Amino acid sequence: IMKKHPIILDVDTGFDDAFAVLFAAMNQEVELLGITCVDGNTNVHQVVKNTLKVLDAAGAGEIPVSKGATKPLVEEPLYAEHIHGADGMGDLELPESSRNIDRREATELLRDLVESRPNEITLVPVAPLTNIANFITKYPASAKKLKEICLMGGSASVGNATAMAEFNIWHDPEAADIVFKSGIPITMYGLDVFYLPIITEAEAQRLTNSNEKSAQFAGKLLLSSMRRLKQNVTLGDYGAVAAVLRPSLLRTEVFDVGVETAHGLVRGMTVVDRRPRLEL
């Protein structure tokens, strides 16, 4: 019997978030329990719309999708529409979804799902960590019942939003700080691996020509992004879900990671302590 991984996604869909959603919704090894949406690449209302459209493209069953934070904990949002398109997801002019949004706010959905499956669930945030920080602050006892967090965010080398900060952490460093200090076991799927799963134009074209609705959607999204960015593109956030299913494909090491929240040159940097541990 195949073991299914119970997963909750937290997204800011988002061109590459779309692949994380598509993959989690369609992969037989994933039990996708719910999706929470947050302000990030674009505003949270648009993020919800985009996410529902991806679930349509995936032909997914009923999966609770809820709206979360409309802005970072402290600062005003800065969007990334130059990367993701005016609608945040490639401007494909997809039909609106008729799916309903879950009536619970993101932190409440997280609480209910975690309480229903204590110590089993892997939370996969691929977006700024505002919802997750709010969940930890509001429902600390429930948050402790997560099995682990495998997040896309941060970097052990250079950044993308700024020289040293990765976008998801940089968008809400105060939230990231709360999450990294929470004591919940965290795997950081950072920029060091994020850009590696590359798709070529020929591969994207092949998907577009498929008879499968989900593959056509993926292909069109990839081609639109290739045109905007004028290069081959990464599947990005998808990798954080893949890392949960196939941890042995990635080399991981244990380090202390701090988040810089000061308003200087490296705000939003994940400071990875690589010093050798002295056993004194």
Rule CB under 5 A: say whether 218 interacts with Ca ion.
no
DSSP structural state of residue 91: T
DSSP 269-280: -EEEE-SPPP--
In 3D space, the residue among 53, 9, 40, 18 whose CA is nearest the CA of residue 233 turns out to be: 18
List C-alpha distances in Å: 175 to 45, 73, 111, 185.
Answer: 20, 7, 18, 16
Task: Let me know how many helices (H) and strands (E) the chain has, helices first.
Answer: 12, 10
Binding piece for Ca ion, criterion CB under 5 A, among 2-10, 11-19, 214-222, 244-252:
11-19
Binding mask 121-150 for ligand BDR (x = CB under 6 A): -----xx-----------------------
d(C-alpha 254, C-alpha 179), whole Å: 16
Q: Checking DSSP bridges between strand 270-273 and strand 256-259, what pairing results, if any? A: antiparallel
- In a 3-state reduction of DSSP, which class is residue 107? helix
Q: Which of 10, 16, 102, 172 binds ligand BDR (CB under 6 A)?
A: 16
Shortest separation between residue 12's beta carbon and ligand BDR, angstroms: 6
Please identify which residue in 55, 126, 233, 241 interacts with Ca ion, judged by CB under 5 A: 126
Cβ proximity to ligand BDR: between 160 and 261 the closer is: 160
CB of 172 to ligand BDR, least distance (A): 12
Considering the rule CB under 6 A, would residue 14 count as an interface residue with ligand BDR? yes
Q: Is 160 in the site for ligand BDR (CB under 6 A)?
A: yes
The span from the CA of 35 to the CA of 88, in Å, is: 17
Residue 160 near which of Ca ion, ligand BDR, none (CB within 5-8 Å, type-dependent): ligand BDR
Q: Which of 48, 60, 80, 207 binds ligand BDR (CB under 6 A)?
A: 80
Near Ca ion by CB under 5 A: residue from 17, 39, 166, 172:
17
